[in-house]
Amino acid sequence: MVTRAQRAFRIGGWAVLAAAVVAALMAVAAGVIGVLALTGHATYPAEYRLGPLYFRDTLALQVVTASPVCQEFDIDELLPNESPGDGSFCYKFVQDGGEQIIHDRVVSQDAAVRPTDATLTGVVHLATSGGWNPWVAAQVVKKVIIGAVITTWLVLLWRLLAAAAGGNAFSARTVLYLRALGWLTIAAAVLAPALDHFTGFHQVAGIHVSSYGPPHLEPVGTEGYPGGVSFVQLALGGLVLLVAEVFRHGAAIEEERRLTV
């Protein structure tokens, strides 16, 4: 007799399997489009439509700009040579805590709660003319690796849910899947910033980015590896490994119970 929990695990497993198929197809599509672009048969951004299906692949660069927030400013004044990031600019942004002071069109920040600086992040979309480019090749490899990691993670989760749906929640197989999920989560936390760093403009073929503003934009993630490792993701991977040990203990008890019966 199939229980309600097993039915829920089965439905969840099929949903995860569908997501894994989509992730795999997107990784394959990114690889194929990358090869076509690097051989001069396609350009970025690439758009393809097959009936109701639509796929768009782009290249983008994450950028950041930062400037201080004015502590006192004239509401009507804006210097013509001001530009974010060059030292002559400050954002006219007020956190009104009830003590904002306006005198002769000059605003003073609330002393109790006041903003000091602002960091803005965004994306610069890029276009290519086709043909070999080392940075484009690095981005294609990065996309394929990320797609493969996501697909593998989803397949492991699908197999875990399938085992639970079959009534084998506490078994050596589920412990194996949980351990694989935990270690893959930890590996992904380390791999992500490594990919960002070693596929960046500054690491590939001596390519550099210059910004003359306004605003002054800087590529994100140029501080060097291993900056950017997600400790939250590392902790999540460790938690999954801990849960795997709990399931290993449960599997041992279940095996002992079966032998006793």
**What tens digit of pLDDT does each residue of 53-79 get?**
788 899 998 889 888 888 888 877 655
pLDDT at 80: 47
pLDDT band of residue 227 (cuts 50, 70, 90) is low
List the end-to-end C-alpha distance of the chain, in Å, as a whole number.
20
> Quick one: how far is CA 2 from the chain centroid?
38
Q: Where are the beta strands (DSSP E) in the chain?
A: 46-50, 53-57, 59-68, 72-74, 101-103, 106-108, 117-126, 218-219
- Spatial contact of 162 and 116, defined as CB atoms under 8 Å apart: no
* Residue whose tokens read 């009507």: 76
Is residue 92 predicted with pLDDT exceeding 80? yes
> Quick one: how far is CA 204 from the chain centroid?
21
CA-derived radius of gyration, the chain:
26
pLDDT at 214: 67
pLDDT band of residue 104 (cuts 50, 70, 90) is confident
C-beta pairs of 146-150 under 8 Å, 24+ apart in sequence:
146/27, 146/192, 146/195, 147/23, 147/24, 147/26, 147/27, 147/28, 147/30, 148/27, 149/184, 149/187, 149/188, 149/191, 150/23, 150/27
In this structure, of 5-19, 142-156, 162-176, the range with the lowest mean pLDDT score is: 162-176
**What tens digit of pLDDT does each residue of 44-55 get?**
999 888 788 788
pLDDT at 82: 54
What is the largest distance, in Å, between two alpha-carbon atoms of the chain? 88
Percent of the chain with pLDDT over 70: 87
How much is the mean pLDDT over the chain?
Answer: 84
pLDDT band of residue 81 (cuts 50, 70, 90) is very low
**Cβ atoms within 10 A of the Cβ of 45, count?**
14
Is residue 99 predicted with pLDDT exceeding 60? no
206 or 247, which is more confident?
247
pLDDT at 76: 74
Query: What one-character-per-residue DSSP string does 118-165 give?
Result: EEEEEEEEE---SS--HHHHHHHHHHHHHHHHHHHHHHHHHHHHHHHH
C-alpha–C-alpha distance, residues 17 and 215, integer Å:
44
Cis status, amide bond into 115, omega within 30 of 0: no
* Residue whose tokens read 């000059």: 106
pLDDT band of residue 213 (cuts 50, 70, 90) is low
pLDDT at 49: 83
Whether pTM > 0.85 for this model: the answer is: no
164 or 102, which is more confident?
164
Arithmetic mean of pLDDT, 165-194: 90
157 or 75, which is more confident?
157
Q: In this structure, what is the dihedral angle of CA atoms 260, 167, 20, 142, given to the nearest 10 degrees?
A: -20
